[in-house]
Each structure stands twice: as C-alpha cells, then as structure tokens.
Chains A and B, each alone.
Chain A
Amino acid sequence: MSAHARTAADLAADVRDGRTTAERAVRDALDRIDALNPRLNAFVQVFHDRAMDDARALDARLRAGERPGPLAGVPVAIKDNLCLAHGRTTCASRMLEAYESPFTATAVQRLIDAGAIVVGKTNLDEFAMGSSCEFSMFGPTRNPWDDSRVPGGSSGGSAAAVAAGLVPLALGSDTGGSIRQPAGFCGVAGLKPTYGRVSRWGLVAFASSLDQVGPFARTVADAALALSVMAGHDPLDATCCARPPEDFAARVGEPIRPLRIGVPRQARGGGNHAAVDAALDAAAAALADRGAEIVEIDLRHADHAVAAYYIVAAAEASSNLARFDGVRYGRRAAVREGEGLEDLYRRSRTEGFGEEVRRRILLGTHVLSSGYQDKYYLTALKARRRIKDDFDRAFEAGVSAVLMPTSPAPPFRLGEKTDDPLALYLEDVYTVSINLAGLPAIAIPAGVASLDGRALPVGVQLVAPAFGEVRLLRIAHELEAALAFNERHTPGY
C-alpha cells in the first residue's frame, strides 16, 4: 500500500516503532499537498516550516525515550474555522482574512498532545454556511473523484484532503451535515459526535445548539481513534459533557449482536438519485447478510427538518455573527468624517461577509424579529422536539442504529447550485434532523454513481442514540468491512 494510503493508526505505529519517522511522514504529506493542492484547493494554508519543525521535535522526543501519543507523527488538517495559535483562522471570510487567533481550539490541542502534526488549514464555505465548499473567499475546493464537481460542504477541504490522500486525518465541524455530506461526496468516513461530546472551545460559532467538531478519516477505526483523543470534559466549554472519555478505538472491532437496523420509510421517498437508493440497499443487504434484522421506521417529521433547521440555524447565526462588528477583531471598514460607530458596524459587516452569510443573517434576524418570532422561531423549536421524538421512538422500540442516505444525490457540478439557495439547502434533507436531535452519526461510502463516465462515491450514514458512539462505531466498522469500499474504489487523485 502506498504511503499516502496508510491509516493514521498504522502510520502512528510505524513512527512509534521506528519503521519511519515523523519527519518523513510529514514531508511525504507536504510533498503530496504541494503536488496536488494547486488543483484541488483543499488547503488554504500550509505550514511547511512549522510542521517540519514539529515533526523533528516529535522525533527527538521519541529518541529521548518519551512515550508519544496514539497519533505520533500523523499529519493532520484542520478546518479553517478551528482556532490555531499560529497562522490565520479565516473561516474563509474576508471578515477574518487577517485574523490570528491567540489560542488553539481544545479539539485541535488534544490531537497535537496525542502526537499529531498540523500541516495546514482547510477550505470551507464561509463561516461553515454551505453544502458545496464554493462560498469561500479562497475559491472552491474540487472533488478528488472528479475535479469538475464539488466536494460537498461546508468541510469540503478536509474531506477532499483525506480522500486525495494528502493527510490520513482531518477535522471538520458539523452544524447541519457539514462533516457527513462532504464525507459522502468524497468517499471517506466522517463522524459527527453527539452534541456535547467534543469541546467547541476555539470553534468559531455558527449555530451553538447544533455545532459539533468531528473527524474525517479513511477508516472507521481512525475516526474512532480521533474521537478517543478529542472527546471529554473541557472546562472551557460549558456544553461539553462531563462523562469520562471512552476508548472508542479499542472496541471498534467488536460486532453488536443482536443487531437491529432501522431504515426510515422517508429515506426512499422517491426523490433520491437511483445510485443513492442502490447504496442504501447495498448497505442494508450487507448488514442483513451478517445477521442484522432490518426494520422500517417512521421519521414522520423528516419532511419538516430542513425548514426547522434553516430557521434555528439562521437565528443562532444572526446572533453569533453579531460579534463581528469591526471593533474588537476582524475587518474594519473605513468610515468618513462625521460618521459614527453604527456606520462602522454596518460598513464593516457588509464588506466582510459574503452574500450567503448576509442572506442567512437577514433570515435569522427576520425570524427573531418582533412580530415574527412566534410564527417562525418558536414553531421551529416545537418541530425540533417532534423531530427528536421520532428518533427517540425508534431507539426505544429496540433499533440499534438508523441507516439512511447522507444526501439525495451524488456530487453535483461546480457552479450548478450556487445561484439557487433553496436547492442547496435541500441537499441537507438527510443530515439536518440529526443535528436538531443532537445525535451522533457517521457517514461512510457505500456505493458509486457513474456520472459522465466517472465513478463518484455515494455515502450512507448510521445514527445512534445520544452518547452511543461506541455502538455507532462498532456497527459502522462492521458495515465498512462488509462493503469493502476502500478495497474496490479509489479516487483519481
């Protein structure tokens, strides 16, 4: 197996046991980034010197007999809405194009403390608002399977970086599908942990009741390893749960029996691309072959999830992004003689935010405004409870996990949907309900779609009860082994 296809776990073992060095692992990653990133545009910053210094320092620690962590020498990529105390943290926004964070996000720091080497920051839709990685001041990221198509979003840069073998592990954030949809589009594993499982300290907030940090990896076991490193109490994030961390990686190989998989009736609503239905069928059949019972469940409010989500997410975004006012950090617009603070706010925000971000701020401001709050926001919160109840009912009835598509269609072409916000929002039809319910879910590749003579990956996702990641990862690992996607398909890059 070529070096760039090594898993994080194998690479770390090689570094620990002296079969390779962190320096070589990082140099290989940087060489591959330098060769492929100009076309892919997955990375928006690459820390050549810093990463090599960090790698040499790690090798020196190893030589001195220190025990490196489980990610020793593993090159990792970080979505550029996670703060890092070196380089810039831009959120792919003109608002923050020069912003240098004075601190590092907890999730990132835990990877570093486990021996990982941060090689760069990856592209995203501005402030994580988008499903295609096209709304970025750095331009779009391209899909490694077909570079005329989008990688999905918003964490498209991290998904493409892992799919193209630039790094074995990358971090993203998932507010309404921003890890799982690009994982599906790029044919890699993408895990959205339970709300509260991973600290959001240092994640630039989009919608605080929904946001969660999670990993992209080529295997479920690597995603489990990353979660084991990142999960757990953080005094700096009051929403981060106090549960003791579990060793997700150690148990990932244990199958679950009896295994009952719920497939929502609404997942085959007829609006799916044929390849999406085929991937869902293949995943269900693979689990059934191994003895799982497949049952139909009813997520009866699924058709209302996108509507509820876009109200809740936009409302929270309008509030969270109020902090960008040109005063304390970020872009400040020039004001003319005689103009005051209000002018500074308005001009800085209008200059700094791209059109999609401004659109969501307007929507969020409207649904929270006097006279409309009950009609939109309160209604959405009630629908949110119904959506969560649907999942709870399925789990209470004995379903081990829910199996559903990640997206209704395979990756679309660059530019195909940028001018139709609603069409882009409907991309999220299978992902947003899981954020509204706060549940853990993992996307893995389950099939291919043949589009214009190119094979493109199609994902499915598994969903488990809150804090059921051990179960989720064990089932996903078994499904991954049964489908053997990585053994049968590779991207063009």
Chain B
Amino acid sequence: MADAPRLSPDEVRKVARLARLDLPDDQLPRAAARLDAVLGYVERLAALDLGGVEPLTHVGGEVNRLDDDVPGPTLPPETVARLAPESFGPFIRVPKVLGDGGGA
C-alpha cells in the first residue's frame, strides 16, 4: 500500500499555476506521481544532522567581483525587438494587460 501522496491535487494545481504552466486534469495524476516520487527521494536529506550549518549559496568567494560602472556597447533596440514574436519598431506587442485582459 503506497503512502498518501505528499501533495493533494489542488496543491499540484497551485504549483503549476505558480510556475505558469497549464496542467490539464487528465495530465495531473502523472505529473503528481512523478513530483511525489522525486520529493520522496529528496526527503532523505532530513536524515542529515545539519544543525548550525551555514547554507552554501555560492561556491568560492573568490569568483565574485565588482566592476566600475562604465557604459558599454549594447544591442540596438531594433535588434532586440526583432527577436520578439510580435514587434513594431523598437516596441514589443503583447495582449491586453489591464481590465478584462485577465492580466497581472
């Protein structure tokens, strides 16, 4: 008998929403099962005694440095805008953001 899954279907839906991914109901069981399998595996970290250990966010302090704030060359706005799926001149076109645009 398998253990109860770590995340309920609603919680998995919430993760997908936060990740800005669609997760249709017919794909949810498979995605949830795989997420659960990996979470089950990584929980082995709980067995470690990590009291007083400083989290390691970045290896090797010697690799970071500050540069002088000097303007350098940049790509022309038109070049960057041309990379966008929809643009006109130096602007990028997007769907409506406000009102009934269902936006941010």
Query: Which residues on A are within 8 Å of B, measured CB to CB?
Result: 99-100, 102-103, 194-196, 209, 235, 238-242, 301, 303-304, 306-308, 310-311, 318, 322, 325-332, 335, 338-347, 349-350, 353, 358-359, 361-366, 369, 376, 378-386, 388, 421-422, 425, 436-438, 466
Contact A379–B50 (Cβ < 8 Å): yes
Contact B50–A386 (Cβ < 8 Å): yes
Q: Report, nearest first, the 8 A-B pairs whose CB atoms are least far apart.
A: A438-B59, A340-B101, A196-B63, A381-B55, A332-B85, A340-B102, A385-B56, A365-B19
Contact B34–A421 (Cβ < 8 Å): yes
Known: A327-B94, A328-B92, A331-B85. A342 touches B103 (CB 8 A): yes
Name the contact of B41 in the complex, choosing from A239, A307, A381 (C-beta under 8 A).
A307
CB distance from B26 to the nearest CB of A (A): 14
Contacts of B97 in A (CB 8 A): 340-341
Rounded to whole angstroms, the CA-CA distance of A466 and B58 in the bound complex is 13
Cross-chain pairs A/B with CB under 8 angstroms, 15 sampled:
A238-B64, A318-B19, A327-B92, A327-B94, A328-B84, A341-B104, A344-B94, A344-B95, A346-B20, A358-B19, A362-B15, A380-B42, A383-B45, A385-B54, A386-B53
Q: Is the interface of B mostly helix, strand, loop or mixed?
A: loop
Q: Which single residue of chain A is at the shortest CB-CB distance from B12?
A: A362
Contact B42–A376 (Cβ < 8 Å): yes
Contact B42–A102 (Cβ < 8 Å): no
Contact A209–B85 (Cβ < 8 Å): no
Rounded to whole angstroms, the CA-CA distance of A87 and B94 in the bound complex is 26
CB distance from B9 to the nearest CB of A (A): 13
Q: Is the interface of A mostly helix, strand, loop or mixed?
A: helix
Name the contact of A196 in the complex, choosing from B20, B60, B101 (C-beta under 8 A).
B60
Contact B83–A329 (Cβ < 8 Å): yes
Name the contact of A308 in the complex, choosing from B31, B45, B59, B65 (C-beta under 8 A).
B45
Q: Which single residue of chain B is at the shortest CB-CB distance from A99?
A: B83
Rounded to whole angstroms, the CA-CA distance of A281 and B100 in the bound complex is 67
Known: A307-B44, A381-B56, A422-B41. A341 touches B50 (CB 8 A): no
Contacts of B44 in A (CB 8 A): 303-304, 307
Query: Which residues on B are within 8 Å of A, measured CB to CB?
Result: 7, 12, 15-16, 18-22, 31, 34-35, 37-39, 41-46, 48, 50, 53-60, 62-65, 67, 72, 75, 79-80, 83-86, 92, 94-97, 100-104
Known: A102-B80, A342-B104. A366 touches B37 (CB 8 A): no
Contact A380–B101 (Cβ < 8 Å): no
Name the contact of B48 in the complex, choosing from A301, A343, A350 (C-beta under 8 A).
A301
Rounded to whole angstroms, the CA-CA distance of A238 and B58 in the bound complex is 13
Rounded to whole angstroms, the CA-CA distance of A99 and B80 in the bound complex is 12
Contacts of B59 in A (CB 8 A): 195, 209, 388, 436-438, 466
Contacts of B35 in A (CB 8 A): 359, 362-363, 366
Contact A379–B45 (Cβ < 8 Å): yes
Contacts of A239 in B (CB 8 A): 63-64
Known: A328-B83, A332-B85, A359-B31. A338 touches B100 (CB 8 A): yes
CB distance from B24 to the nearest CB of A (A): 9
Q: Which single residue of chain A is at the shortest CB-CB distance from B70?
A: A235
